[in-house]
Amino acid sequence: MTPRTLPFTDLNLAPVILGMMRLCEQPELANTQALSHWLMQRLEEGFTTFDHADIYGSNEVERRFGEVLKSQPQLRQQMQLISKCGIRHQWQAPSDRVKHYNNEAGYILDSVDGILQRLGCEQLDLLLLHRPDPLQQPEEVAQAFTQLLQQGKVRYFGVSNYLPAQFELLQQALPMPLVTNQIEFSLLARAPLDNGQLSQMQLRGITPMYWSPLGGAQLFKQPEHPLLQSLTRMAKELGCTLDAVALAWVMHHPAAGLPLVGSFKEERLQGYRQACELRLSRLDWYELWEKAQGEEVA
Protein backbone atom coordinates (compact mmCIF):
# COMPACT_ATOMS: atom_id res chain seq x y z
CA MET A 1 0.00 0.00 0.00
CA THR A 2 1.36 3.40 -0.95
CA PRO A 3 1.13 6.03 1.82
CA ARG A 4 -0.77 9.26 1.13
CA THR A 5 0.48 12.68 2.17
CA LEU A 6 -2.33 14.48 3.95
CA PRO A 7 -2.66 17.95 2.37
CA PHE A 8 -1.64 20.88 4.67
CA THR A 9 0.55 18.48 6.69
CA ASP A 10 3.73 16.47 6.37
CA LEU A 11 1.92 13.33 7.53
CA ASN A 12 2.19 10.25 5.34
CA LEU A 13 -0.88 8.23 6.19
CA ALA A 14 -1.86 4.70 5.23
CA PRO A 15 -4.50 4.70 2.45
CA VAL A 16 -6.68 2.58 4.76
CA ILE A 17 -6.71 3.66 8.40
CA LEU A 18 -7.26 1.09 11.15
CA GLY A 19 -10.05 2.11 13.54
CA MET A 20 -9.48 0.97 17.09
CA MET A 21 -13.07 1.38 18.36
CA ARG A 22 -13.71 -2.38 18.48
CA LEU A 23 -10.36 -3.40 20.04
CA CYS A 24 -11.91 -4.47 23.35
CA GLU A 25 -14.27 -6.80 21.45
CA GLN A 26 -11.26 -8.88 20.28
CA PRO A 27 -10.57 -11.46 23.02
CA GLU A 28 -7.52 -12.80 21.17
CA LEU A 29 -5.87 -9.35 21.44
CA ALA A 30 -6.61 -8.85 25.14
CA ASN A 31 -3.01 -9.18 26.32
CA THR A 32 -0.17 -6.81 25.51
CA GLN A 33 2.00 -9.46 23.88
CA ALA A 34 -0.74 -10.53 21.43
CA LEU A 35 -1.64 -6.94 20.59
CA SER A 36 2.00 -6.06 20.13
CA HIS A 37 2.45 -8.98 17.70
CA TRP A 38 -0.70 -7.95 15.79
CA LEU A 39 0.47 -4.32 15.59
CA MET A 40 3.92 -5.21 14.28
CA GLN A 41 2.36 -7.37 11.56
CA ARG A 42 0.12 -4.48 10.50
CA LEU A 43 3.05 -2.05 10.40
CA GLU A 44 4.94 -4.44 8.14
CA GLU A 45 1.95 -4.57 5.78
CA GLY A 46 1.73 -0.77 5.59
CA PHE A 47 -1.19 -0.22 7.96
CA THR A 48 0.61 2.53 9.85
CA THR A 49 -2.25 4.84 10.83
CA PHE A 50 -4.46 4.18 13.87
CA ASP A 51 -7.65 5.98 14.84
CA HIS A 52 -8.56 6.31 18.51
CA ALA A 53 -10.98 8.32 20.65
CA ASP A 54 -10.81 8.98 24.36
CA ILE A 55 -14.17 7.22 24.84
CA TYR A 56 -13.44 3.97 22.96
CA GLY A 57 -13.86 1.00 25.27
CA SER A 58 -14.47 3.47 28.14
CA ASN A 59 -10.81 4.63 27.86
CA GLU A 60 -9.62 1.02 27.76
CA VAL A 61 -8.72 1.00 24.05
CA GLU A 62 -6.11 3.76 24.36
CA ARG A 63 -4.82 2.22 27.60
CA ARG A 64 -4.25 -1.21 25.99
CA PHE A 65 -2.64 0.32 22.90
CA GLY A 66 -0.48 2.42 25.22
CA GLU A 67 0.74 -0.68 27.06
CA VAL A 68 2.28 -1.82 23.78
CA LEU A 69 3.91 1.56 23.15
CA LYS A 70 5.25 1.70 26.71
CA SER A 71 6.83 -1.74 26.28
CA GLN A 72 8.14 -0.97 22.76
CA PRO A 73 8.55 2.82 22.45
CA GLN A 74 10.38 2.49 19.12
CA LEU A 75 7.04 1.54 17.46
CA ARG A 76 5.72 5.09 17.97
CA GLN A 77 8.03 6.43 15.22
CA GLN A 78 6.61 3.92 12.73
CA MET A 79 2.97 4.94 13.10
CA GLN A 80 0.62 7.91 12.93
CA LEU A 81 -1.79 8.34 15.83
CA ILE A 82 -5.17 10.05 15.60
CA SER A 83 -7.48 10.57 18.56
CA LYS A 84 -10.68 12.45 19.28
CA CYS A 85 -12.27 14.19 22.22
CA GLY A 86 -15.41 16.13 23.10
CA ILE A 87 -18.01 13.43 23.79
CA ARG A 88 -18.76 13.21 27.49
CA HIS A 89 -20.42 10.03 28.78
CA GLN A 90 -21.96 9.62 32.21
CA TRP A 91 -19.46 6.85 33.05
CA GLN A 92 -16.76 9.53 32.94
CA ALA A 93 -18.46 11.55 35.68
CA PRO A 94 -21.45 9.96 37.43
CA SER A 95 -22.51 13.42 38.64
CA ASP A 96 -23.27 14.46 35.03
CA ARG A 97 -27.01 14.22 34.47
CA VAL A 98 -26.80 13.66 30.72
CA LYS A 99 -24.41 12.47 28.05
CA HIS A 100 -23.28 15.61 26.22
CA TYR A 101 -20.63 17.25 24.03
CA ASN A 102 -17.95 19.55 25.41
CA ASN A 103 -15.60 21.49 23.13
CA GLU A 104 -14.60 24.00 25.82
CA ALA A 105 -10.89 24.88 25.97
CA GLY A 106 -10.29 23.39 29.40
CA TYR A 107 -12.06 20.19 28.48
CA ILE A 108 -10.04 19.77 25.26
CA LEU A 109 -6.75 20.39 27.11
CA ASP A 110 -7.56 17.92 29.90
CA SER A 111 -8.77 15.35 27.37
CA VAL A 112 -5.50 15.50 25.42
CA ASP A 113 -3.49 15.03 28.62
CA GLY A 114 -5.58 11.93 29.36
CA ILE A 115 -5.15 10.61 25.82
CA LEU A 116 -1.35 11.06 25.85
CA GLN A 117 -1.05 9.50 29.28
CA ARG A 118 -3.08 6.43 28.24
CA LEU A 119 -1.29 6.07 24.90
CA GLY A 120 2.06 6.40 26.63
CA CYS A 121 3.41 8.93 24.15
CA GLU A 122 4.22 12.61 24.08
CA GLN A 123 2.49 13.75 20.92
CA LEU A 124 -0.58 13.03 18.80
CA ASP A 125 -0.26 13.41 15.05
CA LEU A 126 -3.86 14.50 14.68
CA LEU A 127 -6.52 15.57 17.18
CA LEU A 128 -10.16 15.71 16.07
CA LEU A 129 -13.17 17.24 17.80
CA HIS A 130 -15.45 14.20 17.84
CA ARG A 131 -18.79 15.98 17.30
CA PRO A 132 -19.97 19.54 16.68
CA ASP A 133 -20.89 20.98 20.09
CA PRO A 134 -23.72 23.50 19.52
CA LEU A 135 -22.43 25.48 22.51
CA GLN A 136 -18.88 25.61 21.12
CA GLN A 137 -17.12 29.01 21.13
CA PRO A 138 -14.72 28.94 18.15
CA GLU A 139 -12.29 31.37 19.88
CA GLU A 140 -12.01 28.98 22.83
CA VAL A 141 -11.18 26.10 20.52
CA ALA A 142 -8.54 28.32 18.87
CA GLN A 143 -7.01 29.02 22.27
CA ALA A 144 -6.88 25.31 23.16
CA PHE A 145 -5.47 24.24 19.78
CA THR A 146 -2.80 26.98 19.88
CA GLN A 147 -1.70 25.91 23.33
CA LEU A 148 -1.54 22.23 22.32
CA LEU A 149 0.53 23.11 19.26
CA GLN A 150 2.93 25.30 21.27
CA GLN A 151 3.33 22.61 23.91
CA GLY A 152 4.08 20.06 21.18
CA LYS A 153 1.26 17.78 22.33
CA VAL A 154 -0.58 17.78 18.98
CA ARG A 155 0.81 18.31 15.47
CA TYR A 156 -2.39 18.84 13.44
CA PHE A 157 -6.10 19.38 14.06
CA GLY A 158 -9.39 18.41 12.46
CA VAL A 159 -13.01 17.70 13.18
CA SER A 160 -15.45 14.85 12.88
CA ASN A 161 -19.13 14.81 11.91
CA TYR A 162 -19.18 18.56 11.11
CA LEU A 163 -21.52 19.92 8.46
CA PRO A 164 -19.94 22.44 6.05
CA ALA A 165 -21.21 25.56 7.86
CA GLN A 166 -20.07 24.18 11.22
CA PHE A 167 -16.63 23.51 9.70
CA GLU A 168 -16.40 27.03 8.26
CA LEU A 169 -17.53 28.68 11.49
CA LEU A 170 -14.75 26.98 13.40
CA GLN A 171 -12.11 27.37 10.70
CA GLN A 172 -12.53 31.16 10.47
CA ALA A 173 -11.51 31.48 14.12
CA LEU A 174 -8.44 29.25 13.93
CA PRO A 175 -4.85 30.27 13.15
CA MET A 176 -4.16 26.78 11.77
CA PRO A 177 -5.97 24.77 9.07
CA LEU A 178 -8.40 22.02 9.92
CA VAL A 179 -6.86 19.17 7.94
CA THR A 180 -9.74 16.72 7.82
CA ASN A 181 -13.39 16.08 8.60
CA GLN A 182 -13.99 12.47 9.67
CA ILE A 183 -17.51 11.64 8.48
CA GLU A 184 -19.73 8.61 8.17
CA PHE A 185 -19.76 7.48 4.53
CA SER A 186 -20.64 4.10 3.06
CA LEU A 187 -23.13 2.45 0.74
CA LEU A 188 -25.49 2.54 3.74
CA ALA A 189 -24.69 6.14 4.75
CA ARG A 190 -24.78 8.21 1.60
CA ALA A 191 -25.76 11.62 3.03
CA PRO A 192 -22.30 13.18 2.37
CA LEU A 193 -22.97 12.88 -1.36
CA ASP A 194 -25.78 15.42 -0.96
CA ASN A 195 -25.24 17.39 2.26
CA GLY A 196 -22.19 19.28 1.02
CA GLN A 197 -19.61 17.55 3.23
CA LEU A 198 -17.73 15.94 0.33
CA SER A 199 -18.08 18.96 -1.98
CA GLN A 200 -16.72 21.26 0.72
CA MET A 201 -13.67 19.04 1.25
CA GLN A 202 -13.06 19.04 -2.53
CA LEU A 203 -13.43 22.83 -2.72
CA ARG A 204 -10.91 23.28 0.09
CA GLY A 205 -8.53 20.55 -1.11
CA ILE A 206 -8.92 18.75 2.22
CA THR A 207 -8.87 14.97 2.51
CA PRO A 208 -11.92 13.61 4.36
CA MET A 209 -11.85 10.41 6.40
CA TYR A 210 -14.72 7.92 6.18
CA TRP A 211 -15.80 6.09 9.32
CA SER A 212 -17.76 2.81 9.16
CA PRO A 213 -17.10 2.56 5.39
CA LEU A 214 -18.66 -0.92 5.45
CA GLY A 215 -21.65 0.32 7.41
CA GLY A 216 -20.40 -1.36 10.58
CA ALA A 217 -21.45 -4.99 10.26
CA GLN A 218 -24.90 -3.92 8.95
CA LEU A 219 -23.96 -4.35 5.30
CA PHE A 220 -23.45 -8.08 5.74
CA LYS A 221 -26.47 -8.95 7.83
CA GLN A 222 -29.05 -9.25 5.03
CA PRO A 223 -27.81 -11.94 2.57
CA GLU A 224 -30.93 -11.54 0.41
CA HIS A 225 -30.46 -7.78 -0.02
CA PRO A 226 -29.95 -6.88 -3.73
CA LEU A 227 -26.94 -4.76 -2.73
CA LEU A 228 -25.17 -7.75 -1.25
CA GLN A 229 -25.96 -9.78 -4.36
CA SER A 230 -24.39 -7.13 -6.61
CA LEU A 231 -21.36 -6.85 -4.33
CA THR A 232 -20.92 -10.63 -4.41
CA ARG A 233 -21.18 -10.75 -8.21
CA MET A 234 -18.68 -7.90 -8.67
CA ALA A 235 -16.29 -9.47 -6.15
CA LYS A 236 -16.29 -12.66 -8.25
CA GLU A 237 -15.76 -10.71 -11.47
CA LEU A 238 -12.93 -8.63 -9.97
CA GLY A 239 -11.36 -11.54 -8.09
CA CYS A 240 -11.52 -9.88 -4.68
CA THR A 241 -13.58 -9.94 -1.47
CA LEU A 242 -16.94 -8.23 -1.26
CA ASP A 243 -15.62 -5.98 1.53
CA ALA A 244 -13.00 -4.78 -0.96
CA VAL A 245 -15.71 -3.83 -3.47
CA ALA A 246 -17.70 -1.95 -0.81
CA LEU A 247 -14.55 -0.14 0.26
CA ALA A 248 -13.60 0.64 -3.34
CA TRP A 249 -17.06 2.25 -3.73
CA VAL A 250 -16.30 4.95 -1.13
CA MET A 251 -12.70 5.35 -2.30
CA HIS A 252 -13.90 5.88 -5.88
CA HIS A 253 -15.45 9.26 -5.00
CA PRO A 254 -13.25 12.12 -6.30
CA ALA A 255 -12.95 13.59 -2.79
CA ALA A 256 -10.36 10.80 -2.40
CA GLY A 257 -11.04 10.24 1.27
CA LEU A 258 -9.29 7.80 3.56
CA PRO A 259 -11.50 5.01 4.91
CA LEU A 260 -11.24 3.88 8.55
CA VAL A 261 -12.01 0.19 8.82
CA GLY A 262 -13.05 -1.58 11.99
CA SER A 263 -12.08 -5.22 11.53
CA PHE A 264 -9.03 -6.77 13.19
CA LYS A 265 -9.22 -9.97 11.12
CA GLU A 266 -6.21 -10.64 8.92
CA GLU A 267 -8.22 -12.13 6.04
CA ARG A 268 -10.42 -9.03 5.86
CA LEU A 269 -7.42 -6.71 6.08
CA GLN A 270 -5.90 -8.42 3.03
CA GLY A 271 -9.10 -7.56 1.17
CA TYR A 272 -8.75 -3.92 2.24
CA ARG A 273 -5.26 -3.81 0.74
CA GLN A 274 -6.74 -5.11 -2.52
CA ALA A 275 -9.39 -2.38 -2.40
CA CYS A 276 -6.69 0.27 -2.85
CA GLU A 277 -5.86 -1.21 -6.27
CA LEU A 278 -9.44 -1.67 -7.49
CA ARG A 279 -11.03 0.69 -9.98
CA LEU A 280 -14.79 0.34 -10.26
CA SER A 281 -16.37 1.27 -13.55
CA ARG A 282 -18.93 4.10 -13.61
CA LEU A 283 -21.65 1.48 -14.19
CA ASP A 284 -20.47 -0.64 -11.25
CA TRP A 285 -20.46 2.43 -8.99
CA TYR A 286 -23.98 3.45 -10.03
CA GLU A 287 -25.30 -0.12 -9.82
CA LEU A 288 -24.22 -0.29 -6.18
CA TRP A 289 -25.69 3.16 -5.54
CA GLU A 290 -29.02 2.06 -7.10
CA LYS A 291 -29.14 -1.18 -5.10
CA ALA A 292 -28.36 0.67 -1.88
CA GLN A 293 -30.90 3.41 -2.64
CA GLY A 294 -33.58 0.95 -3.76
CA GLU A 295 -34.39 3.02 -6.86
CA GLU A 296 -32.70 4.23 -10.02
CA VAL A 297 -31.34 7.75 -10.41
CA ALA A 298 -33.92 10.38 -11.40
Ligand X SMILES: NC(=O)c1ccc[n+]([C@@H]2O[C@H](COP(=O)([O-])OP(=O)(O)OC[C@H]3O[C@@H](n4cnc5c(N)ncnc54)[C@H](OP(=O)(O)O)[C@@H]3O)[C@@H](O)[C@H]2O)c1
Could you list the active site residues? 56
CA angle 178, 252, 12 (to 5 degrees): 45
Nearer to ligand X, 188 or 193 (CB): 188
Q: Strands 100-101 and 87-88: what pairing?
A: antiparallel
Whole-number Å distance between alpha carbons of 39 and 293: 37
Q: In Å, how far are 36, 116, 234, 253, 286 from 281, measured between CA atoms?
A: 39, 43, 11, 12, 9
- Of all residues in the shown chain, the one whose CB is closest to ligand X is 262
Nearer to ligand X, 121 or 260 (CB): 260
Q: Phi-psi region for residue 255, left (φ > 0), alpha (ψ -120 to 50) or beta? A: alpha
Q: Least distance to ligand X from the beta carbon of 190, Å?
A: 14
Q: Least distance to ligand X from the beta carbon of 23, Å?
A: 8
Q: Least distance to ligand X from the beta carbon of 276, Å?
A: 15
Nearer to ligand X, 9 or 49 (CB): 49
Whole-number Å distance between alpha carbons of 181 and 158: 6
Nearer to ligand X, 146 or 256 (CB): 256
Residue 265: name the closest of 91, 22, 9, 87 by CA: 22
- Do residues 219 and 188 lie in contact, with contact meaning Cβ atoms separated by under 8 Å? yes
Q: Least distance to ligand X from the beta carbon of 75, Å?
A: 19
Whole-number Å distance between alpha carbons of 55 and 38: 22
Nearer to ligand X, 36 or 49 (CB): 49
Q: How many CB atoms lie within 10 A of CB 135?
A: 9
Residue numbers at the binding site for ligand X (CB under 6 A): 19-22, 51, 130, 160-161, 182, 211-217, 220, 243, 260-263, 265, 268
- Do residues 208 and 176 lie in contact, with contact meaning Cβ atoms separated by under 8 Å? no
Q: Least distance to ligand X from the beta carbon of 208, Å?
A: 11
